[in-house]
Structure 1
Amino acid sequence: MLEDDMSHPISIRKRPTPGRPSTFSEAVADLILGRLMEGESLRSICADPDMPGRTTVLRWQAENASFGARCARAREVQADAIFDEMQDIADSATPETVQVAKLRISTMQWRAAKLAPKRYGDKLDINAHHDVQHASTEELIAELATLLDISPVEATRMVGLPASEA
């Protein structure tokens, strides 16, 4: 409350100003998802003054499971759009622009691999084949005795086995 020069209290209220949307809306969510699927980055989408800020969209993803799942699916589709764009960049490269094209394609390959690792990520061979040979207690005691330059009886005592097991 402020007082004017006539000593009458007046209240000053800020008028609501139009701004970025911050309340979840299916219509805005659909626009965001459509632009993601076309290959546009969330940063770029949220830079649009008619779109909510990036923090708002991330909050929507966390608070709205359906929207979060749709965003994840849109990111997978986005990887396909990025993949298609890489071909366009390669096709339009000239000898003068080939280095820039290589850099752009390399960056896009990395993004596609992060967005859809099963489709565009490095393939890792996680199948390991190991041959395990089992040695008898006697063989292990003999090896220990050889390594430590002691008798097999001493090696047997050292590991705590009765002498009859060695």
Structure 2
Amino acid sequence: MKKIDNNEPANLPTIVTPEKALADRGRAAISDIGAELRKPKLGAPSTRTPEVDDEILERLIGGESLLSITYDDRMPSWQTVNNWRLKDATFNESVKLGMAIGQHVLVDVMQDIARGGRFSTGSIERDKLLIQTIANVASKRNRTDFGDKLQVDQRVINYTVNAKESDW
């Protein structure tokens, strides 16, 4: 018979709540995304040319995300493009402007989807998700044009108090 030592930790199973499991998966997913983005992209151009800059900007203006552009094997990696942005303020401003214009294009696409047009997937649930996602992203990335507006009502009320100096 084994003697029980109260100083040894009990070999009880660890209880993992669904919230903890979800949080752990979320942290792992974010870590995995970061690792994937930092991977070198073999065979991708890393030399910056006016043609590469122009294609990146044209595709941003068309509503494509920078990340999806960098998935293209003909394009540099996400990290390379962002390094160019850090080193060249003019290019960075052009990228920001391209992204802002692209948000307007995506809002037009969103309206087309809602009408069941060319960009509709044919699935009502999928189209709803696309519309919600585009609206949400547009409102966050271009608050000036698509963000929620805060309405502030201000009224000035003047009061006149008639009091004797002795009442102070």
Query: What percent identity do the matched residue pairs reach?
Result: 34
Which residues of structure 2 form unaligned runs of 5+? 1-41, 162-167
From 89, 94, 98, give the equivalent of 2:113: 89
Take 1:65 and 1:120, find their aligned partners in 2: how far apart are those partners?
25
TM-score normalized by structure 1?
Answer: 0.63
Take 2:138 and 2:95, find their aligned partners in 1: how far apart are those partners?
15
Q: Counterpart of 2:115 in 1: which secondary structure? A: helix
**Amino acid in structure 2 at the alignment position of 1:118:** T
Q: For this pair of structures, how many residues does the alignment match?
A: 124
**What displacement does 1:129 show?**
4.8
**What displacement does 1:25 show?**
1.9
Take 1:57 and 1:98, find their aligned partners in 2: how far apart are those partners?
36
Take 1:103 and 1:111, find their aligned partners in 2: how far apart are those partners?
12
Aligned to 2:135: 109
Q: What does 1:120-139 correspond to in 2, within 5 Å?
A: 120-126=146-152, 128-129=154-155
TM-score normalized by structure 2?
Answer: 0.62
Q: What does 1:38-53 correspond to in 2, within 5 Å?
A: 38-53=62-77
**Which structure's relative contact order is higher, taking Cα pairs within 8 Å and 6+ residues apart?**
2
Q: Which has the larger radius of gyration?
A: 1
Q: What does 1:11-90 correspond to in 2, within 5 Å?
A: 19-90=43-114
**What displacement does 1:24 show?**
2.3
Deviation beyond 3 Å, 4+ runs, structure 1: 126-135
**Amino acid in structure 1 at the alignment position of 2:151:** D
Which residues of structure 1 form unaligned runs of 5+? 1-17, 136-165
| RMSD (CA atoms) | 2.8
**Amino acid in structure 2 at the alignment position of 1:80:** H
Distance 1:24 1:124, change over 3 A: same
Q: Counterpart of 1:118 in 2: which secondary structure? A: helix
